[in-house]
Amino acid sequence: MPYRLSPLAAVLFTVLLAPCAQALQAGESAPALGGVEAGRVVYVDFWASWCVPCRKSMPALEALYRKHGAAGFAVVGVNKDVNEDDSRRFLQRVPVTFTLVKDADDGLARSFGVKAMPSGYLVDRRGIVRRVHRGFTDATAAELDEEIQSLLREPR
């Protein structure tokens, strides 16, 4: 399965130009996300085939994307696998329809300051990180659903 690139994914690659030394925190601007797919709430998720919690997070993110996509929510899955065959096998077992990009050289992960797998960054319509999720549990999906709904209700 080839990676699908959207305008949002293309702009994410520009994140490589401005790496940060520390992990992004809520309230900080997301790297290079401003103005991309204007007005969308975006969840940037760093995942890998070897990541056990990712087996739970990917289907949950797909469900949230299907539930809220029409209202202005997008997911960008950033794959950390070095071997593309590993991610391909994973996606055959856990298919998703949201945008996927590859980050085998860790440029995007460095830009976001990823410290754990999976790591997710919920970005509001103005490009501000509103929530950082490290790891993924059963409770994370419910929390994320509420956070997404809250951000989608905020005025543009």
Tell me the domain boundaries of the chain: 36-153
36-153 has which fold? Glutaredoxin (3.40.30)
Residues 33, 111 contacting (CB under 8 angstroms): no
Helix, strand or coil for residue 130?
A: strand
Amino acid occupying residue 136: F
Q: Point out the catalytic residue in the list 33, 51, 96, 101.
A: 51
Q: Count of CB atoms within 10 A of residue 52's CB?
A: 10
What pLDDT, in 10s, does the model give residues 63-80?
Answer: 999 999 999 999 999 999
How much of the chain, in percent, has pLDDT values that exceed 90? 65
Q: Is 20 a catalytic residue?
A: no
Which letter does DSSP use for residue 83 in this model? S
Adjacent-strand bridge partners of 154: none
Q: What is the pLDDT of residue 15?
A: 39
Q: What pTM was estimated for this model as a whole?
A: 0.82
Catalytic residue among 12, 15, 32, 54: 54
